Every structure is written in C-alpha cells, then in structure tokens.
Structure 1
Amino acid sequence: MAGTGPDTNEPDVGDDWALFWVKLDTKPPTYDWQYPAKNIWVDDKIYSPGSRGFPTVTVFYQQRCILMANPGITMGVWGSRIGEYQDFSLGPNDDDPWFYAIDTSDTPTIKWAEAQRNLTLGTSAGDFSMGGEVTISPSDVNAFKQNNSRSLHTRAVTLNTDIIHIEQGGEKVHSTSYLETRDALTSNDISLVAEHLLQRKIKRIVILQTPEKIAIALADDGTLIGFTYNNTRGDYRDVSTYAWWEIESQGHVHDIASHYSIVTKEDSLYLTISYNYSEAGPNKYNLEHMPYPSRTFTQRVTQTSPILLLGPTLTAQGVVLLDSWIEGTAVSNVIAGLEHLDGMEVAALVDDAWTGTYTVEGGQITLDDTNISGSEPYNGVSAVGLLYKGTLKTLEFVAGNQRGVGFGTKRKWNRLFVRTLDSSLPVINGSLPPDRTPDTLMDIPEVVRMGLVDHEMRNLGWGDGSVLIEQDRPYPCNVLGLYGEFNANNS
C-alpha cells in the first residue's frame, strides 16, 4: 500500500492510495539481518558458535527491538540500540544495546512477550515482568517472576489491558493482568466453560478489535473457536465475563491472521484453508477473507403505497452469510465462474431470493425452476457460496419448585418471544414463527425484518426449558434476547 503522489503517508490525506507491486532491483535493506551470511551481529552475538540458533520471540518496547528465546539460551533477552533496530553492539550508555539473562532455579523457555507498562514475558514456568527504574538500559534492568502459569509457544494477544495466551498443552486459555491488591501479574483461566471445545487443543489466537472485540482460536484439527472476553475492575474484586462458541467450516484451516482495513475501518480475519484435506496430501491451499458481518444495510424493497422503491440487493451491500461466496450474474437459470468451488455443494441467491442448494459442475450451476406457473427463469445479481448453519442454544431453564429444586421436572414455554434486530426469521425449537406482516403486500418478499421484532411462539412442548435458535439461510440473524411465560410441572 503506498501513496500515488509525493508526501502521501496517510489514507484520505493528499492523493488517493493505490495497491501496486514494487520490483526490487536489489536485495532489501533487512536481508542480511534476516539471512545471516557474513552478518557480524548475527554470527558473533546471537547465532554464535554453540548452535544457539535464531531468536524465536520478538517485541518492540521503549523504542528498542527486543529479541529473545534463542534455542541455546532460552531465557536470554537482547535489546537493540534505541531507535536503531539492527544495532545490537553492547555498550555502557543508557541508549546502548544490552543483554540480560533471566536466572531461574529451573530451565524454562520464553514463549511470548507483550509490551505494556513493563515487558511481560510468558514462559514454560510462569509469567515474568521485566523493566527498569526508569527505562531498561544496560545498567538498569531486572525481571521478577509473577505467577506459575505455563505458556504455549505461540503469540499472545492483548485485549484492552489483559494479555490472552494459551496454556502449555493447548487445552486452556488464560488472561494475565495486573492485580493491584497483590502488586503482581495474576493469570486466570477464562476457558472453564469451554473445556468441551478445547479438548481438540488450540495453537493460535487472533483478535478482531473493531467494531467489536472478538477472539478467534485455531485448533489443531483445523477448526475455529470464537470467544468474547471482558474484565471489569472494581474497588474490591474483578468481574470477568466471557462466552465461547464453535465455528463450523467445511475446510481444514491451517493458519489465521487478523488485519485492520483502512477502507472499511474494521478488522477482518484471513484464513489459509484446504478443502477435502488429507494429511498425506497433496492439498490445494486457499487464502480466504472473513470480513466482519455488516451491521448496517438498507432494505431492498421499500413500500410506499402504491409505489414500490427498489434499492441495492443484500449481495451488493456485502450482506451474504456464506463461506467462500462470490458475486455474479444469473442468466436464464445459469450461474458460471465457480471454478474454485468445483465438485462442492453450494447455496445460491438471486436478487436476495433463496433458490436452493446445488453441486458445482464444470465451474457452474443450473438453478431449478421456481415451480410457479408462468414465472420467468432466474436472471439477476447472484451470490453463491458454502452454506452453514448458525446455532444458539440456551442452557437448561430451571424454575422454582415448592418441593425442592426444579431439575428433573417437565418444563415448557407457553408463550416465548425472541427479539431480533434487522434479521431474517430464525428457526425456533424446530419451527418458524409467523412469516408475514399485515402491512406488506403478498407479492413482496420479506427477506429481512428491519428494526426490533418480537417473534412469538406458543406451546413449545415439554422438555428441559432450553431454547434452540437456528438460522439455516444466508441472511442476517441478530438475536438480542428472549422472554415469555414459562410453566413447570412440579408434581
């Protein structure tokens, strides 16, 4: 990304920005730094005889490049000269590079580092806090162990002021934060409610911070797990709230990364993914982009009797909840240009209308007729991709019981209201709520109900009181809450 004119160094300032490739006629300035052929700093200081190896953890802190965790000196930390990130020639002055070896009774390894007020190091033996009285310098540096939380060798992420990291073993996620009452960093397990999800073990976490703070974890089996986390600090105690969910995908995800877009002003998730994955290989790798779901959009059909106003489709606004979806054009029931989905079952929309699921053959699909007498073939803006189902299930709802606890009793919702915002109809305990509103003409589709809508369901049957909400179509579904009349059989 670069400016198309002189002195352009910021989006929306000066000339327009454009993407272009730059051919390097010579090797980049950091080549010798990364590839240590005849590099004095690497050979003599870091790489050195004895096979100490390259640093495996890096972070920028107090205008220095901090390198650490060489295989041969696992608790060694190297700081560059202030403002000169390739200069590691040790010296006595405050701005000179420095080296510090953290002494411990065992032989742990630094796994990650995060720069906050102090430098926090996650190791295989616990978290350490590293700093100085003023700033870290050759004559002013110290490190103290804070807790015994063991870390996995993968990058940690910071959410607000808390450091989120994976525990050694990959089956727990911890939050490291400063606890004033103890004057130390404390590490808390925030995955207690997700043990069934983390049995598959996770190896990486990335954060999407704008517009909402969401963490995405990559599991060893190539699946994704999401969670939200918030820590509210009070005068007497901290209150942590978090929620976990499973993300279903038809492919095997190999790696993930997050990226902030200067165009949309939002974070996006990027995935390296294989379909029909085989450990024996060979596999085809795809780079996929998962943008944050659009929260604001306009309804395509606006009824102002007797005039009907047509706006942009949901597809044109990017509001399509399909994996690997692509926008195109349906011409006489045929949608082409789907070579990347060959042999796979896909779902298709035309002008926001649901047309069904199909198998891609030869890079195209042929849509079924609408089965409406006298109707025309499908022609219009299409969206084709991999269909998935969004699922939300509440915990068992337990009401009071005069004879004791309510567990084991038969319970049901006499009337249940599910409140949604700018959403299509959800499936509630296996049934759709009423799907028409009186003020809409019968020949006008209602793909999305704009605004707040309370969907009423009656007599949902005897059970444990839990509610299952599903969305099996590629339309928005934002559930805000539920309420109603509940009955328990206490006999």
Structure 2
Amino acid sequence: MARFVDIQTNFTTGELDPLVRARVELKAYDNALEAAQNVICQPQGGVTRRPGTKFINELTGTPANGVRLVPFEFSVNDSYMLCFTNDTMFVYKNKALVHTESGTNITSALLDNMCWTQSADTLIVVHEDNPPVKIVRGASDTDWTISTITFDSVPKYAFSLVIFDTSSAGHLTPSAVTGKVELTSQHSIFTSAHVGQYINVQPQGRARIVELVSATKVNVVTEFPFFDTSQIANADWELETGYETVWSATRGYPRTVTFHQGRLFFGGSKSRPSTVWGSKVGLFFDFEAVEGLDDDAVEATLDTNTFNAITDIISGRDLQIFTTGGEFYVPQEGLSPITPADFFLSTTSRNGSKEGVRVKQLESGTLFIQRQGKALSEIAYSDTQLTYLTSKISLLAGHLLKNPKRMDIRRAVATDENDLLLIVNSDDGSLAVFSLLRAQDVIAPSEFTTTGTYQDVGVDITDIYVVTTRTDSGSTKYYVEVFDDNSLTDCGVIGTTSATANMAHLEGATVNVLSDGYVEANQVVPGGGTVTFVNPPASNSECGLPISVEIKTMPLNVKAQAGTRIGFRKRVLEVNALLHQTQNIVINNNPVPIRTLGAGALDTAVVPFTGTKVLHGILGYSTDGQITVTQNAPLKLTLLGLEYKVSVYQGR
C-alpha cells in the first residue's frame, strides 16, 4: 500500500467531456473537473460560486409562445435590455422595468429567428416574413417609436425573365456611350412599367431604365457601355422585363442585418436566401445601384456547390457572412473600403451555423454554434497565414451543448474576470457557460442550473439578464431576472430593514432566507407570498430559490514508477482546500468548519475565510478517488486549489 501527495493548482480546463475521461496524458486533464455546476472559472485558476439572480417582473401576455432579449445601448449613460413577446416590448434599465410598449408588430412567430442591428438611437429588426422594423428611442426612457421602414429604393431581380418583342419598335438612339444616357426609340413603346427593366444591345451595351420621359424616350444608366452613339437597328437590341423588387409581401423580406463601413447590409431574404445587399454609403435605406461609383449600392450572391441560406451577418475585421452551408467574408486589401467593383464573397470554412443563434465577437475572433447545434466554433484571422482559421472551442466540453437556442457574451471588465459566453440549451433549460481568456488559450466551461429553466439570455454591457420559467402556485410563469453579484439565491428579493419579504411570485416554493447575512431555516412561501424573518434584519435581507453547487474533480491520476494508478483502489486520507473569502464548504459530504466560535459568534453572519482548511478522516476506498465540493448553505465560496494525500491499494 503506497501513499502519495498530489495537488490541483487550478481549474482552468473547467468541466471535461465524459468522452475524455480516460485521457490522463492530456495536460488539460490535470486542471479539469468532472462537474462544475453553478460555478465560474476565474482567470487566476480558481472557481467561485456564481451570482444569484434578482427577480424583476413577470412577463404578461403569451411569453410561452416566444420571447427574445435584445440589448440596446443609447449612450454612455443610457443602456437598455429590450424583451420582446407577442406584439409587446418590455424595456429594462439598471436592472428594473422602466417601460412597456405595445403594438410592435413583432409577433411570437418571428422571435426565434429574428435578427437586429443598432446605430445611434435606432434599432433595426428583420425577419424574412415581416417588413423590416425601425425602433427609435426618443427623449426619455419611456419615449419609443416603432415603425415599418420606408425604403428610398429597393433592389430588383428577375424572378421570371421575359424578353419584350422589339421587332416593331424601330431603331434606338443613345445620347452617350456610358453613364447616364438618354435613349430614344423610333416608335412609342415605353411605359412606366419598364422603369427598373433592362436594355441589351449588340454588339455591346447593357443599361437599366431609371426614368420614363415619354413613350419614345427613357433615361438609363449603363452597366456595360454602348459601342458608339449611332442608331441601333431593331434587330440589335432587346428589352428585358420581369424584374421586380426583391423585398415584398410576395417575395419575403431580409433575413439578417448589420452596419458596416457606413452602409446598411442585409443578408438573405425569403426568396433569395443567399444574396447580400449593401446600401449606398451614408444612405442606409437606398439600395438601388445606379452608377457603379465607389459609394453606390452593392450586391453579391453566394454561388457555390452547396445551399447557403444566410443565418447571420456581422461587422468584424471584415464583413462576415454565416450560412447554413459555410462561413464567408468580403476580402479587402489593406484599408480599402468595399466598393461595387470589388464586392465579392470568399469562403472561410464549410461548417455551417445554426439559425436563430446570433454569432458573437471576441477580441480574438467570432464565435458561432454549428448548424447541428453540437459544437461551438471560432473563426479568427491569422496574421501569419493571412486567412481565417476555424477552431472548435467546445472540443473538450461538447456534452454541455444540448440543442442551443440562444447565446450572448459578457466581456470582462476586471482582472478577476474572464469573458463569459452564455448559451441557453433547449433540451434541459440549462446554461452552458464558457469562461474565456483567449490570449492565454483558456477555455473553462461550466454549467448553470436553476429551479426551473432558462429560456433566453442577454447582456446589457455588464448586466446579464435571463428569462426563466418558474412555478408559482402550481402554474408555470415566465420571469425576467438579472444576475446580481450581491445575490446568493435565484429569483430573489433583496430587502433592507423590513421584517417581511414579498415573495408572491414563488408561492408554494421552498426558499432560502438570509437576515443580515445570517442563514435562517428554509421556508415554504405561504399563500399571499409574505415571508417573515425569524430575526428581523437591521440592514439587509434576502429570500430566493436555492442554488445547487457542485465541484467534482476528475479521477485521481496518481503516478508511480510502474506507471499511472488510475485503475487501482484509492482512499483520500486528507484534503487541504485553498479558499478565498469563503463562508461555507462541504467536501465529500463532510462540512468544513469556517466559523470561529467565541463570544457573539452565533446567530450572526459567517466571517469570510481566506486560507487553507484541512479535512481529515475521509473514509472508504474507490477506483476513482474523487473529491466533491458542495454547499449546504447559501453563502460565498471560492476554491483556489486542492492538495490531497492519497493511499493506493495495489491489489484488486
């Protein structure tokens, strides 16, 4: 029987996929966890209990039919979280509901796959089954205007091309060979229906009709110049008709939208799902290409050997287009802007992205959920290879992705934070949370669960909002909540000196109760929703749903001269837990004392502890030799590392 001492200095791998359980040779194994539930991995290496959530309000109407969170940053001091339900928009600011706007014309059926972008005070919302909507914030938090966008011009496309018979039209005479040209026919053939249609000429020349002057005269803009200004015989020219606006109730509307380099870009539509359109520079609602100048409107279609319905479009280092069949971008040389002459699409990868899950940008690259919903990938530009490269972010934690339906990112603002990528899973209502520090190649996933399910997540600069389902008096309700660093419970109510708390939104539920930081006995919220504190608070209180915390190490990989001992029976004799500002911790079902007894120690808040706590006397042998850290009270916990002494039985 041999004894060993081992230490896990950090948890920067986060929760490891069960498929990698036997890969003890991986460096990631030594820093991994088998379970990381309701904790966040810190950049310094430790894991800390996640914040609780503060209850804001119940969503009225029909949120069960669809809900969507959309951030809106109006100014440095004014930012909002908008929550859309059927024909209604709830406006949140500073973690509180400030306004409700009805009549949005955005129905439940549009919410799952709608897309949006913002510029200054204007939010543009698109869906292929609905005319693009413009939402403008006015002079105050309660002043919002919602209207359908009126375009100055819309691009055209020949869904059914018809060649107009010009055999009896006589000859045609151009006033110039290129640019804006006046065309005069020998006979009266032109009508207002021909505006937007095309004239083709032999031996060369193609022009689009932009204005009807008379039945014999039209103004055109050349797409390919005429050979000269001599008369064109009736047998040498033809009139192409059948062109119509690409966005309409008949043909559908844009699928995705973004601003990039002074243009408004739409990606895909119901009838043309693989086409990208860009407005004129500075004229966001003018999409009709006229002269082909550098600031004119642009258009390109993804013509590849696969079907590429555009799922998202985003302004990054380049204009990036995500489709069901692959990822593309618009190449630009140096600082050169996009122009009609060089607007084409180049392939990045052939993964495909999932519709309805908006892509998110990091400093290092762009993150997206692959089409089947089973992998999280990143596209990043390589300065050495001068191209985009794709990597699997979820390679070691793919089990946490369970049919993702929403995704957002909270960027780090302090040295003890990583970027947090939050992904809502449809299958079980959990949150897959990836703690990312890409500069140091840190990818540390964990899982957030709650009493109920997560339906959506959105980030207002630093505030993380969620829509959850909870049970209230036996009924399922939809609540808007926000993660709060001062909260230790979910869907909680934080109070001051009141002897009671109004928990009407959780009638019948068992809740944690804290008074001045002291943990009282759990209570079942009675009818009427009033929870009464046993010890009325002098300064602060909190009531809310319990949060289940679990930190479980990988099976101990004790190495001896004969090789690894992962399959032998082991017993953990002693655990040294390195803690920071911790009030409660349980190791392998053994509570670890934190409170120092003395005068006035009871019935008061536990003083946070920083240092090493030693636990002896852990009984029983197992082949895994794992350490499980949990909690039995809603208090602070930050685990920096674990050192343990292990006895290995080399028999069978």
Q: Distance in 1 between matches of 2:122 and 2:523?
A: 51
Cα pair distance change 1:204/1:46, threshold 3 Å? farther
Amino acid at match of 1:458: H
Aligned counterparts of 1:399 and 1:360: Cα–Cα separation in 2: 48
**Aligned counterparts, 1:246-395, within 5 A:** 246-260=447-461, 267-276=462-471, 283-291=476-484, 293=485, 319-328=486-495, 335-361=500-526, 362-366=528-532, 378-380=536-538, 381-395=540-554
Counterpart mapping for 1:81-160 below 5 A: 81-91=280-290, 92-133=292-333, 134-153=336-355, 154-160=357-363
- CA change 1:269–1:283 in 2 (3 A) is same
Q: Secondary structure at the match of 1:254?
A: strand
Partner residue of 1:220?
Answer: 426
Name the aligned partner's letter for residue 249 of structure 1: T
Of structures 1 and 2, the one scoring higher in RCO (CA 8 A, sep 6+) is 2
Deviation, 1:446, is 5.3
Deviation per residue, 1:64-106 (Å, 9 max, x gap): 2111111211121111222332222323221222112222122
- May I ask how many residue pairs the two structures share in their alignment? 425
- Aligned-residue identity in percent: 23
Contact 1:426 1:432 in 2 (8 A): yes
Q: Which of these residues, 169, 173, 177, is aligned with residue 372 of structure 2? A: 169
Structure 1 residues 255 and 395, CA gap change in structure 2 (3 angstroms): same
Measured in 2, the distance between the counterparts of 1:456 and 1:440 equals: 24
Deviation at 1:283, TM superposition (A): 4.9
SS in structure 2 at match of 1:419: strand
2:557 aligned partner, one-letter code? V
- C-alpha change, 1:453 and 1:137, in structure 2 (3 Å) is same
1:435 counterpart residue number:
594
CA contact (8 A) 2:519 2:605 kept: no
Query: Residues 227 and 365 of structure 1: is their aligned pair in 2 closer, same or farther, counting only changes over 3 Å?
Result: same
Deviation at 1:444, TM superposition (A): 7.5
From the superposition, tell whether residues 288 and 23 of structure 1 become closer, same or farther in structure 2 (CA, over 3 Å).
closer
Give a deviation string over 1:294-325, Cα, whole Å, max 9, x none: xxxxxxxxxxxxxxxxxxxxxxxxx2310111
SS state at 1:340 partner: helix
Q: Distance in 1 between matches of 2:438 and 2:149?
A: 47
1:454 aligned to 612, 635, 639, which one?
612
Q: Aligned with 1:483: secondary structure?
A: strand
Per-residue Cα deviation, 1:112-154 (whole angstroms, up to 9, x for no partner): 2232221122222221121333111112212111221121112
**Distance change in 2, residues 1:216/1:37 (3 Å):** closer
Return closer, same or farther for 1:37/1:244 CA change in 2, 3 Å cut-off: closer
Which one-letter code corresponds to 2:551 in the other structure?
L
Q: 1:378 to 1:71 in 2, by over 3 A?
A: same
Structure 1 residues 446 and 358, CA gap change in structure 2 (3 angstroms): closer
Q: Deviations over 1:142-198 (max 9, x none)?
A: 211122112111210012222111011111111111234543222222212223322
CA deviation digits over 1:375-417, x for unaligned, max 9? xx54544211111111111111111134443122122333221
Find the residue that maps to 1:245 and give its secondary structure: strand
* Residues 323, 38 of structure 1: alpha-carbon distance in 2 compared, 3 angstrom cutoff: closer
Q: Which structure 2 residues correspond to residues 198-209 of structure 1 after superposition, within 5 A?
A: 198=401, 200-209=402-411
Contact 1:132/1:142 (<8 A) preserved:
no
Question: 1:414 and 2:573 equivalent?
Answer: yes
Cα offsets for 1:309-364 (capped at 9, x unmatched): xxxxxxxxxx2310111123676xx6242211212211111111111211111111
Q: How far off is 1:470 after superposition?
A: 1.1
Partners of 1:80 and 1:352 lie apart in 2 by 57
> For residue 472 of structure 1, what is the amino acid of its counterpart?
N
Q: Tell me the CA shift for residue 271 of structure 1.
A: 1.4
Distance 1:29 1:445 in 2: 51
CA–CA distance in structure 2, aligned partners of residues 23 and 338 of structure 1: 26
- Flag as ranges the 4+ runs of structure 1 deviating above 6 A: 17-24, 27-32
What runs of 5+ residues in structure 1 fail to find an aligned partner? 1-7, 233-238, 261-266, 294-318, 370-376
Aligned 8 A contact 2:267 2:312 in 1:
no
Distance of 1:40 and 1:83 partners within structure 2: 13
Provide the rounded CA distance (Å) in 1 between the counterparts of 2:650 and 2:249: 74
Structure 2: distance between partners of 1:383 and 1:480: 27
Match of 2:442 among 241, 259, 284: 241
- Aligned residues of 2:492 and 2:542 also touching (Cα < 8 A): yes
Partner residue of 1:63 out of 242, 262, 265: 262
3-state SS of 1:170 partner:
coil
Give the RMSD, CA atoms, in angstroms.
3.3
TM-score by length of 2: 0.59
State the 1:486 CA deviation: 3.0
Residue 258 of structure 2: SS of its match in structure 1?
strand
CA distance in 2, matches of 1:171, 1:340: 35
Which residue in the other structure is 2:560 paired with? 401
Q: Secondary structure at the match of 2:311?
A: strand
SS at match of 2:400: helix
State the match for 1:296 in structure 2: none
CA separation of 1:439 and 1:482: change in aligned 2, threshold 3 A: farther
Aligned letter for 2:329? S
1:407 to 1:282, Cα distance in 2 relative to 1, 3 A: closer
| SS of match in other structure, 2:396 | helix
Q: How far apart in 2 are the matches of 1:348 and 1:96? A: 63
- 1:219 & 1:30 partners in 2: Cα distance? 27
Partner of 1:426: 585
Letter in 2 for 1:115: S
2:274 is matched by which residue type in structure 1?
M
Q: How does 1:458-473 map to 2 (within 5 A)?
A: 458-461=616-619, 462-463=621-622, 464-473=624-633
Displacement after TM superposition at 1:282 (Å): 8.4
1:484 paired residue number: 644
Q: Is the 8 A contact 2:325 2:351 kept in 1?
A: yes
